[in-house]
Structure 1
Amino acid sequence: MPVKKYMRRGTSKFYFLETIAAGTMIPTRTELTAGTEFSEFIASMDGWTVANNEIETPDMADTYDSTIPGSDKADSSSFTFYEDEVDADIEEMLAKGTTGYVVILRKGDVPANNSMDVFPIRVASQSPQYTADNEAAKFVVTCSITSRPVQGAPVPAATP
């Protein structure tokens, strides 16, 4: 079966939600709509994945260094944003110490599609980038992932 390939840029959507009521960390459509979509401000991003810290388990019976799954950990995660010359909305929303949720709709806003990831975060730092190069002004927001993220959750149904 051929794969229907797509490009994340222009498709994926990124939201910041201050709260999610459900203990499952899956937002309702009302919570998602009340959040702030910040996709258009993103110049680049790093992390936003979960990796396993494998445990090495070599033994004297073999020269092969085997491993077993260990604990999971979110990679160091950050966004590089374009800085608005007038407004500081994103800087204020994601100020150092802010807690909330980064919600990523990987395949866009497609209700019931299992492509929503939810990362509980606390903003660790926010730093402007200075350069003399011919490029737009940017700043970097680094986020600590405070607990296990939800990955592959269904996008909430659209409000009728």
Structure 2
Amino acid sequence: MATPLQASVRYYRRAITKVLWVPTIANKNAPTRAELDAGTELSVEVGAMAGWQTTSETVPTPALGSRFTPVVGGAITAADSSLTFWASKDGDDIRQVLVREATGFVVWMDEGDVPAQTMDVFPVTVTSQAKVRELDAAAQIMIQVAITSEPAENVVIPAAATP
């Protein structure tokens, strides 16, 4: 008999997930605690998010000797991605941090900033600061990004530096 999958410990994302903007990471596959601490935590102002996942295409590999067409893994792509923030009436908001053409890393710590848990590191360039204009909603700014290279996924979060 097959071993059953262990039951997951389910959680509600709000107040747990951390999103960081980190201007510089030397190795996206192993960010240091100092690099992460030098970033800006965005979670407190994020009102919505879209994208932030990778997908793999498949490539058909037909053979004359069979009517079945098998496939192999192909190109890996990332969805168009954005973060939507609350706008401030005085303009002192995300527009001061994520300016158009800024390059850096968006770091997702889905289970929180907990050493030994995992994070995803997305190398990005900010492409726009779109003002979301709706009649009956609080003002927001949507930051759209281009994901510039393959994200590092399931990277172990480093421990805090010891004093």
Q: TM-score, normalised by structure 2?
A: 0.88
Aligned to 1:107: 111
Q: Which amino acid aligns with 2:8?
A: V
Aligned to 1:8: 13
Aligned partner of residue 31 in structure 1, secondary structure: helix
Q: How far off its partner does 1:32 sit?
A: 1.0
Aligned to 2:32: 28
Question: What stretches of structure 1 of length at least 5 have no aligned partner?
Answer: none
The alignment yields a C-alpha RMSD, in angstroms, of 1.6
Q: How far off its partner does 1:88 sit?
A: 2.5
* Identity across the alignment (%): 37
* 1:40 has 2:47 as partner: no
Structure 1 distance, partners of 2:70, 2:139, is 47
Question: What stretches of structure 2 of length at least 5 have no aligned partner?
Answer: 1-5
Q: In the TM superposition, what are the counterparts of 1:117-156 in structure 2 within 5 Å?
A: 117-133=120-136, 135-156=137-158
Q: TM-score, normalised by structure 1?
A: 0.89
Structure 2 distance, partners of 1:18, 1:24, is 12
Higher mean displacement: 25-34 or 140-149 = 25-34
Q: Which amino acid aligns with 1:121?
A: V
Across the two proteins, how many residue pairs are aligned to each other?
156
Q: Which amino acid aligns with 2:145?
A: C
